[in-house]
């Protein structure tokens, strides 16, 4: 993280929160490195205002939450949160609790843009709340996590105990919260507390890779997708079924890109596009080109080894057609990752 935007005219961040925006990604970092990014009462107000501002900022397509230096967040600041709050009158206290809960959970869990927690180091106690609130989490393999509350004579408060139930198994949550034992990023990935753990020197690149794949998607559909998944968890089957039907219709009706209509037309009528091609590099239908029917004919199981005409344009890791999605006998179109095989029937084949 650079601190290039530490002073940012007219923006709510710049002190305990720094923001860098590049290529559609807003890198939001807690900036209290001397305290290992422990979270103070004051930070809550700055972070809340930052999240609100970035929500409206069109240059932010994906939000990455991280920490300046080698720590993600050492949890609630024992001095500047707990002791500070102890000295407050009940109304001030209520305001701090509300602001803290609002940024760590309320805003983030329902953020209208994809959010990724990039866990670059320590992640303790209260830091589990924003960690779980983010849609995705990628950790350094050697990041250290700990539900250390038990060692401080408190329960995982705020809503830490509750957020654990969203992503951890009952056994894991109880084990780590009751023992206070630390675990590393690899273990966090094994337990599915984070999506994956990567070596520290690859953490930023991997995060950019994931962010980019999200940026290539239809933003409205990505937003509705995350809401659908998060909401469904707490709805009954009947409610969920009704809600998802309504949510689907809402998305179709409001999608400014008319993605569903376009995809169906291109696939069914124009035969110019297959969803698997679409998912790699976000190349539009026009990017899918033809090459002669390969031999042997690719199947779902077999890879087509012909060089992709789109090699070098972000399609196919090895520059080949890598997976075939359609190879039904009698069909003349074989749409694979980035390539559309077109040819008539060949003697002896299909
Ligand atoms: N609150 C306040 N200050 C903190 C916190 C915290 N949660 N975590 C670290 N700091 C401060 C330290 O007091 C120290 O300040 P100082 O230099 O002014 O003395 C500075 O950050 C660096 O910390 P060290 O302890 O010196 O760093 P070290 O690398 O030795 O240890 C570790 C890192 C293990 C993370 C240690 O700082 C620690 O245990 N911190 C507390 C983590 C924790 O349990 N957090 C949860 C609190 S409870 C909750 O969140 C609900
Ligand atoms: C904790 C966290 C809090 C809080 C009180 O996990 C205790 C400990 C996230 O806020 O307000």
Determine the number of helices (DSSP H) and then strands (DSSP E) in the chain. 13, 13
Q: Domain for residue 263, yes or no?
A: no
Each residue's pLDDT tens digit, 154-169 = 999 999 999 999 999 9
Q: Are residues 193 and 324 in the same domain?
A: no
187's tokens: 């273990």
| Cα 207 to ligand 2 centre (Å) | 28
Question: What pLDDT is recorded for position 273?
Answer: 61
Residue with the smallest CA separation from ligand 1 atom 40 is 74
Same domain for 101 and 170, yes or no, is: yes
* Residue 13: partners with Cβ closer than 8 Å, 6 or more residues away: 5, 19, 28, 46, 49, 50, 53
The reply to whether 297 and 156 lie within a common domain is no
Q: Does a structural domain hold residue 262?
A: no
157 lines ligand 2 (CB under 6 A): yes
Rounded Cα distance, 171 and 205, in Å? 33
Atom of ligand 2 nearest to the CA of 159: 9
Query: Is residue 150 domain-resident?
Result: yes
Same domain membership, residue 162 and residue 98:
yes
Per-residue model confidence (pLDDT) at position 290: 43
Range list of H helices, 61-184: 84-86, 90-101, 108-109, 128-133, 160-167, 170-179
Q: Which residue CA neighbors atom 3 of ligand 2 most closely?
A: 158
Q: Is 251 a domain residue?
A: yes
Identify the nearest ligand to the CA of 153 by its number.
Answer: 1
- Give the residue numbers spanning the domain of 345: 280-350
Which regions in the chain score pLDDT beneath 50?
1-7, 276-293, 298-305, 308-350
Pocket test for ligand 2, best of 153, 160, 164 (most atoms within 8 A of CB): 160
66 and 190 together in one domain: yes
Q: Is 53 left (phi over 0), alpha (psi -120 to 50) or beta?
A: alpha
- Domain assignment of residue 266, yes or no: no
What backbone torsions phi and psi does residue 197 show, to the nearest 5 degrees?
-125, 135
CATH at residue 143: 3.90.226.10
Q: In what helix (H) or strand (E) does residue 254 lie, and over which residues does it extend?
A: helix 237-254
Q: Are residues 83 and 194 in the same domain?
A: yes
pLDDT reported for residue 266: 76
pLDDT value, residue 262 = 84
Q: Domain ends where: 163, 193, 215?
A: 215
Provide the pLDDT for residue 274. 57
Please indicate, yes or no, if residue 249 is contained in any of the structural domains.
yes
Overall number of domains in the chain: 3
- 3 occurs within a structural domain: no
Dihedral of CA atoms 178, 181, 185, 188 in degrees, nearest 10, equals -20
pTM listed for this prediction: 0.82
Instruction: Please indicate, yes or no, whether residues 289 and 244 belong to a single structural domain of this protein.
Output: no
Q: Is the domain of 239 the same as that of 289?
A: no
Yes or no: say if 177 and 147 are a contact pair by the CB < 8 Å rule.
yes
Ligand 1: list residues with CB < 6 Å: 35-36, 38, 74-79, 122, 124-126, 148-149, 152
> Does residue 181 share a domain with residue 87?
yes
Ligand closest to Cα of 182 equals 1
Q: Show which of 185, 215, 245 is a domain's final residue.
A: 215
247 lies in the same domain as 142 = no
Return the closest-CA partner of residue 273 out of 263, 282, 260, 258: 263
pLDDT > 70 fraction of the chain, expressed in percent and rounded: 75
CA of 192 to the centre of ligand 2 (A): 22
Q: Do 203 and 96 share a structural domain?
A: yes
- Shortest-distance ligand to the CA of residue 41: 2
pLDDT, position 241: 97
In terms of domains, do 237 and 135 share one?
no
* 5 located within any domain: no
Distance 75 CA to ligand 1 centre (A): 8
Asked whether 322 lines ligand 2 (CB < 6 A), one says: no
């Amino acid at each position: 993280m650079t601190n290039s935007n530490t002073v940012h005219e007219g923006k709510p961040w710049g002190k305990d929160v720094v923001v860098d925006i590049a290529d559609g990604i807003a890198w939001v970092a807690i900036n209290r490195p001397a305290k290992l990014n422990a979270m103070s009462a004051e930070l809550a107000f700055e972070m809340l205002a930052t999240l609100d501002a970035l929500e409206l900022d069109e240059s932010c397509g994906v939000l990455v939450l991280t920490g300046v230096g080698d720590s993600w967040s050492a949890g609630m600041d024992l001095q500047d949160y707990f002791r500070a709050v102890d000295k407050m009158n009940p109304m001030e206290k209520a305001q701090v609790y509300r602001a803290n809960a609002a940024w760590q959970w309320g805003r983030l869990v329902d953020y209208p843009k994809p959010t990724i927690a990039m866990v670059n180091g320590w992640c303790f106690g209260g830091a589990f709340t924003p960690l779980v609130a983010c849609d995705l989490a990628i950790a350094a393999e050697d990041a250290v996590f700990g539900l250390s509350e038990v060692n401080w004579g408190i329960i995982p408060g705020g809503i830490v105990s509750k957020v654990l139930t969203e992503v951890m198994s009952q056994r894991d949550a109880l084990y780590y919260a009751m023992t206070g034992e630390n675990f590393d990023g690899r273990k966090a990935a094994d337990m599915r507390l984070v999506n994956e753990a990567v070596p520290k020197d690859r953490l930023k690149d991997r995060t950019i890779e994931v962010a980019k794949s999200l940026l290539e998607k239809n933003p409205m559909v990505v937003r509705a997708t995350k809401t659908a998944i998060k909401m469904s968890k707490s709805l009954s089957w009947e409610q969920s079924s009704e809600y998802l039907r309504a949510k689907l219709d809402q998305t179709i009706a409001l999608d400014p890109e008319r993605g569903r209509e376009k995809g169906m037309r291109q696939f069914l009528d124009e035969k110019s596009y297959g969803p698997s091609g679409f998912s790699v590099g976000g190349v539009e239908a026009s990017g899918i080109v033809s090459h002669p029917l390969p031999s042997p004919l690719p199947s779902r199981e077999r890879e087509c080894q012909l060089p992709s005409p789109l090699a070098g344009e972000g399609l196919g890791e090895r520059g080949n057609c890598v997976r075939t999605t359609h190879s039904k006998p009698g069909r003349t179109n074989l749409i694979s990752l980035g390539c559309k095989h077109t040819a008539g029937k060949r003697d002896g084949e299909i």
